[in-house]
Structure 1
Amino acid sequence: MPNDEGMEAVKLLARLEGILLDPVYTGKAMAGLIDGISQKRFKDEGPILFIHTGGAPALFAYHPHV
């Protein structure tokens, strides 16, 4: 099931980058990444790679919430 943080991550990536994430798995993973960045859990050197492996079709099952 989606959670609030995952849904916010889905909306943020769609709005800012045009990237569609599913709210159950990839949205939660992105929410965790965003939280980790905001809490400075990563070194400041170099980029962070997030691999999005799919799942966007699942997004449409949650249409009223997105």
Structure 2
Amino acid sequence: MQGFGALLFLWGMLDFIMSQSGVDVYYDWLGIWLPDLIYDYSHWMAMALGLTLVGAGQKK
């Protein structure tokens, strides 16, 4: 679970960096249209979910 969380966090970072350079990662690369409501926050959501999964995997 930690590995998937780390990958999801990295995906969020990539989304953030590419959006700053004008590339829409979801639509340009994957053909996925995101609603306007979540478009500006998609990278934050991916990073938050990734960190949550990493944190949940550490607790035993």
TM-score, normalised with respect to structure 1: 0.36
Structure number with the higher helix fraction is: 2
TM-score, normalised with respect to structure 2: 0.38
